[in-house]
Amino acid sequence: MKRLLALLAACVTALGLTGLLGPQAVAGPRAVAAAGCRVDYTVTSQWQGGFQAGVKITNLGAPVSGWTLTFALPDASQKIVQGWNATWSQSGSAVTATALDWNRTLATGAAADLGFTGSFTGANPKPTAFALNGVPCTGSVEEPPPTTPGDGTPVGVNGRLHVCGVHLCNQYNRPVQLRGMSTHGIQWFSKCYNTASLDALAKNWKSDLLRIAMYVQEDGYETDPAGFTGRVNGLVDMAEARGMYAVIDFHTLTPGDPNYNLDRAKTFFASVAARNAGKKNVIYEIANEPNGVSWTAVKSYAEQVIPVIRAADPDAVIIVGTRGWSSLGVSDGSNESEVVNNPVNATNIMYAFHFYAASHKDAYRAAVSRAASQLPLFVSEFGTVSATGGGTLDRASTTAWLDLLDQLKISYANWTYSDAPESSAAFRPGTCDGGDYSSSGVLTESGTLLKSRISTPDSFPTS
| Cβ density class 360-370: b for 16+ within 10 Å, e for less | bbeebbebbee
Q: Coil, strand or helix: which one is 71? A: strand
d(CA 435, CA 51): 31
Q: Coil, strand or helix: which one is 117? A: strand
User: Does 381 participate in catalysis according to the annotation?
Assistant: yes
Per-residue HEC secondary structure of 417-453 comes to CCCCCCCCCCECCCHHHCCCCCCCCCECHHHHHHHHH
* CA 299, chain centre distance (Å): 24
Torsion sign (Cα): 228, 230, 233, 235 = negative
Inter-helix orientation angle 225-241/262-276, to 10°:
40
Angle at 293 between CA 291 and CA 296, to 5 degrees: 125
**Torsion angle (degrees, nearest 10) of CA 324, 328, 331, 333:** 110
Q: Which of 218, 240, 285, 289 is catalytic?
A: 289
Paired strand residues for 285:
249, 319
**332 close to 295: Cβ distance less than 8 angstroms:** no
d(CA 37, CA 318): 40
User: Does 285 participate in catalysis according to the annotation?
Assistant: no
Q: Which of 218, 240, 285, 381 is catalytic?
A: 381
**Total Cβ atoms within 10 A of residue 219:** 15
**215 close to 228: Cβ distance less than 8 angstroms:** no
Q: What are phi and psi of 259, to 5 degrees?
A: -65, -20
Q: What is the DSSP letter of 244?
A: -
Q: Coil, strand or helix: which one is 131? A: strand
Q: What is the DSSP letter of 20?
A: B
Q: What is the DSSP letter of 42?
A: E
**60 close to 139: Cβ distance less than 8 angstroms:** yes
The residues that are catalytic are 289, 381
